[in-house]
Amino acid sequence: MNSIPRFGRGSARTLPTHRDFGLEIIYLEKGALNWHVEGRVERVTAGSVYFSLPWQEHGSVDEFEPGHYWHWVQLGLDGRIDRPRRRFGFHPDFGIGRAEAAEISALLTQRGRHCCRATPRIAWLVPTLVEELMKSDSPEIRYVQALARLAVLELARCLKADAAHDRNDSASLRRVEAFIIALQARSDETWTLSDMAAACGLGRSRFALLCRQLTGDSPFTLVNRLRVDRAKSLLKATPKSVTEIAHECGFSTSQYFARVFRHFTGLDARGYRQRHRGGK
């Protein structure tokens, strides 16, 4: 179908930075991934919906963690897609009028983040649309067009609900977001939940809730993820031993480091180093 140039489901080992042929909507059913749009990194977690526009460069910032599964579809726009546009229309097949398109395009282009919590409707719509498109015989065109239209409209609902939720928590979210950025350089330090919450001026339960909202991780999972990210950089760039790297990144023992590293990467540290130093 000209109106839906690409679609699919499953997983991928790597996702290089690229551009698409339309509005891409991805529903992540399982796993958690680090993606970027125009260099801005976001944590995409299971149960999230993620979008990008065709002129926006996006992709993975690292190897994908094992166990993820997604459903994705690219929906054609009306007019040029090779340069940024503040307002745009959708392919006529979707039956989205000019006024609707103007409202939706404003939501998509003014949005800072590209990931938000999926509603139950979009968690059904995107996989169902992809399943219909992947039928070995010809998909039922009118059904596909109706699903595509609903997917766009429900994406807009997701973004509106997410924005309203963020406004209610804006000050606290900003403090937690700033702390998470600072934590990237301090992940090797010893952290307790009370320490992290106090750094944000929040109670422990509130901090843990907002941390999970922003990153998809609990506070301690986030600390370990950042430590593993640092360890991966050191394994690729330095000749330091695995034990040295484990302690430098904040792990109390090399055994615990080995367990956590394999959990996040699917590899042991030596295997990871060999793969990347071998140019694979």
Give 184-202 pLDDT, tens digit per residue: 999 999 999 999 999 999 9
Residues 45, 128: one domain?
A: yes
Percent pLDDT > 90 in the chain is 65
Residues 114, 192: one domain?
A: no
Residues 116, 195: one domain?
A: no
Cβ atoms < 10 Å from Cβ of 9: 18
Residues 64, 120: one domain?
A: yes
| Residue 66 burial (10 A CB sphere; 0-12, 13-18, 19+) | middle
Residue 1 lies inside a defined structural domain of this protein: no
Residues 55, 141: one domain?
A: yes
Residues 116, 245: one domain?
A: no
Give 16-29 pLDDT, tens digit per residue: 899 999 999 999 99
Residue 236 lies inside a defined structural domain of this protein: yes
pLDDT at 163 over 80: no
Q: Interior CA angle at 105 toward 34 and 170, to 5°?
A: 55
pLDDT at 144 over 60: yes
Residue 91 lies inside a defined structural domain of this protein: yes
CATH at 174? 1.10.10.60
pLDDT of residue 209: 87
Amino acid at 37: V
pTM (whole model) above 0.75: no
Residues 20, 154: one domain?
A: yes
Residues 88, 223: one domain?
A: no
Percent pLDDT > 70 in the chain is 95
- Token pair, residue 150, equals 């609903």
Last residue of a domain, one of 168, 183, 213: 168
Average pLDDT of the segment spanning 270-275: 90
Residues 204, 116: one domain?
A: no
Last residue of a domain, one of 168, 201, 221: 168
Residues 197, 130: one domain?
A: no
Give 36-62 pLDDT, tens digit per residue: 898 888 888 888 999 999 999 999 887
- Dmax (CA) for the chain in angstroms is 61
Give 96-123 pLDDT, tens digit per residue: 999 999 999 999 998 888 998 899 999 9
Helix axes 141-168, 170-186, angle to 10 degrees: 90
Last residue of a domain, one of 120, 137, 168: 168
Show the domain range for 119: 6-168
Give 206-250 pLDDT, tens digit per residue: 999 888 877 878 899 999 989 999 999 999 999 999 999 999 999
- Token pair, residue 19, equals 């551009």
* C-alpha to C-alpha distance for 24 and 162, rounded to whole angstroms: 19
Mean pLDDT over the full length of the chain: 90
CATH at 23? 2.60.120
Residues 184, 264: one domain?
A: yes
How many structural domains comprise the chain? Answer: 2
Question: What are the strands of the beta sheet with 69-75, ordered from one edge?
Answer: 6-10, 69-75, 23-30, 48-52, 115-117
Residues 263, 222: one domain?
A: yes
Q: What is the DSSP string of 191-231?
A: --HHHHHHHTT--HHHHHHHHHHHHSS-HHHHHHHHHHHHH
78: Cβ–Cβ under 8 A, 6 or more apart, which residues? 88, 89, 90, 91, 92, 101
